[in-house]
Structure 1
Amino acid sequence: MPGMIAGMLEERLDALSRMTAEHMAMPFPPGFRGLDVEDQDMVMLDADAYGYATNVLKRPLTEQHRAALTRLVAVFDKVLPVIDDEYASRYYTHVRKMAVLAVEVEDLREK
């Protein structure tokens, strides 16, 4: 079983690495710089998710950072439904998926 978990972990880390590279290639949504959606600064939301994802690629997160990452995913669930710009919705959906994958990596590390 540990070999299977290690394989799943490696697979998720590879996917997370690809997602962070894709994220860096995507232009930030026009009009979202300085914009708050559901009381969330959209630049900070993006930066926090990317920061957690890149840190997960390097090392396990502290318990405090894991909790913050989990809360961040919940924030995406609140803001995504109210984004009415097609590109921004795709962009932030990608960022949310990146954060969810980072949570999955952390969960696998605990097994």
Structure 2
Amino acid sequence: MEMSVRVVLAAMKQAGALVIVTEIDPICALQATMEGLQVLTLEDVVLEADIFVTTTGNKDIIMVSDMKKMKNNVIVCNIGHFDKEIDMLGLETYSGVQRITHQTPNRHVGLP
């Protein structure tokens, strides 16, 4: 497990969060389990989770189809190596999406 992932996990646990890892790689899933974390699939948690943090460095981890299933006001963020983990292009071109502008560099969007 990468150091950046460990730091995020430690911070979330320290804040009192129930941390669940979604992992498809069996080795990484085993590592997370050995760290005492629950491992599920994204499909298992997409309806209930409040915060989604991607750390993989892979692309298309959270797609618009996943975001449509999420409850209102969830936080979706990426700390991976690249900016392709979250389907921002698909989100920005999705019909009816409302872009909410703030004074921060973060992107806020509302799904219909």
TM-score between the two structures when normalised by the length of structure 2: 0.28
TM-score between the two structures when normalised by the length of structure 1: 0.28
**Larger relative strand fraction:** 2
